[in-house]
Every structure is written in C-alpha cells, then in structure tokens.
Amino acid sequence: MIILKINYNKKIGKNNTGHIVLRHRKKGKKSLYIPIDSNYFNHINNNNLCIRLLGETSNDMYRNTKLILCIITKDDGVKEFRYILKPNKKSYGDFIKFFDKTNKSFGDVNCLNSFDINDKVYNIEFKPLINSKICTAAECNSILLNKIKNYIKIKLPSNKIKQLNNKCYAVYGNSEKLIVNSINKAGTKMSFGNRPKVRGSAMNACDHPHGGGEGKAPIGKKSIYSFKGKKVKGIKTVKTKNDCYK
C-alpha cells in the first residue's frame, strides 16, 4: 500500500530551546505533503513496461514542479498508484515507457548507458539503486557529454562536470514548471512560510552589528557584517575540496 498524502511539520527556524537559528521563517499555511516516487517503482526490469498517467495536481506548496498521478499493473493483477514529477509535453492518458531505445519521448526512463550523447535528462540517480537526487527542480536537466568504459560524464546546470555510473537511471527531457499567480500582497508570501525581512541599519545596536545611531546613520564599519557578526564581503563561501559535485 502506497500512502499518497501525509502530514508534514514545517520547520520554523528554532531549536529545542526555542531560540531562533534561521531567521525569516514561520509555519505558514497548513497543507499535506505528497511524497513522490523517486525510486522508479522499485527498479522494475520488465522490457515492455508502460505506466499510464491519470491526472495532475498543481497545488503543491513544497515544490516548484507539477506532479502527476500514475498507475501500474503488475503481473499478478495488483494495481499501484504513485505520484511522480510531471514530464513536459505529457498529459492525461499518455504512457511512460521503460528501456525503450528506439522511440524516445519526454518522460521515458532508461539507464544512462542507453542515452545518446548531447541528450538532456533529469531526475538522475547519484548511485545505482538509490533514490534520484540530481536535477529534480522545474525545467532543470543535465547534458550527456562523454562515455568512458563504465562511467558517463554529464554537465550539471551549474556548468560543473560530474562522472556517474552508467547503470544509474534517468528520465529523458525535463519536468514541467508549476505556474504560480503573481504576488499581489505580503500575505501570499506569509502563507508560504516567509516572514518579512528588516534592514540591519534600521535595528538597534543590540540586535544587529549595523544597528544603532540617530536617524539614518551609516553602519560605522569598514566592511559589511552578517547578523552573527561575521564578515560578508570578500570572504570565500564555497569549499571545492569538500564539494560532492566537483
């Protein structure tokens, strides 16, 4: 049995003692969380497998992509319903194919070794038989560059090159973006869990390193400081030594 919707407690940026650790957060509007199937139906290896798409949901507050409900019928006649990321150019009644090398269409699932060079894929596994983690955002995809023995080099959206195993699963194309209405008032942002942001120079001296002074006073320092008192300008923030996408 697959649970389609569950309760989810949002993070409000406070620790166990009640102190604020991450600012500008609140609980926001209550909504159910929809877990998606990032394991490709437990890695089924049938060559003639097709999944039928049933309908889509567009009111998910936790993602910027559309979700679609799909159904699969196993050999023993048992049907399973799961939510997946909606492929672009796919709609109700269409099918998603597994391991089809001849006719590639958006949403088809296959191993990285079966795709051609310069193909665009998304929802990629970091390691074989592990949930997909790469390129899961809306309209996000990677490009296959080269095939070397049992490994394949792909180009990520950040222009970094990553070498993966050729047995990792991926989806052809990209996912469809969720269309959100324009933000006409502050309450729409508050419903998503965002609190208003205040300038540091408008605070008191006890609340921020830039605070204090009469009227519109300058910050009184040579460089910009963060809320915790650390330097912000001219400091390296990326550690390429420990970066997993190097």
CA dihedral 76, 78, 82, 85 (to 10 degrees): 40
State the pLDDT at residue 145: 93
SS (H, E, C) 172-202: ECCECECCCCCCCCHHHHHHCCECCCCCHHH
The tens digit of pLDDT for each residue in 29-55 reads 888 888 888 876 565 655 445 677 777
Q: Residue 215: which domain range?
A: 198-246
The tens digit of pLDDT for each residue in 150-167 reads 999 999 999 999 999 988
CB-hemisphere CA count at 13 Å for 178?
A: 16
Q: Is the whole-model pTM more than 0.85?
A: no
Report the candidate in 94, 135, 89, 90 with the shortest Cα–Cα distance to residue 112: 135
State the pLDDT at residue 47: 46
Report the candidate in 218, 232, 118, 124 with the shortest Cα–Cα distance to residue 171: 124
In a domain, 105, yes or no: no
As a whole number of angstroms, the distance between CA 104 and CA 121 comes to: 11
Domain containing residue 244: CATH number: 4.10.950.10
204: number of Cβ within 10 Å: 9
In a domain, 221, yes or no: yes
SS (H, E, C) 70-125: EEEECCCCCEEEEEEECECCCCCCCEEEECCCCCCCCCCEEEHHHCCCCCEEECEE
Q: How confident is the model at residue 99 (pLDDT cuts 50, 70, 90)?
A: confident
In a domain, 25, yes or no: no
State the pLDDT at residue 41: 59
In a domain, 239, yes or no: yes
Strand order in the sheet with 120-122: 109-111, 169-172, 120-122, 142-148, 151-155, 161-165
Instruction: Work out how many domains the chain is built from and give that number.
Output: 1
Report the candidate in 123, 135, 138 with the shortest Cα–Cα distance to residue 168: 123
In a domain, 210, yes or no: yes
In a domain, 218, yes or no: yes
Average pLDDT for residues 198-227, to the nearest whole number? 92
| Beta-bridge partner residues of 178 | none
Mean pLDDT of the chain: 84
CA dihedral 155, 159, 160, 165 (to 10 degrees): -10
In a domain, 219, yes or no: yes
As a whole number of angstroms, the distance between CA 154 and CA 119 comes to: 10
Measured CA distances, 99 to 84, 105, 108 (Å): 18, 12, 8
In a domain, 245, yes or no: yes
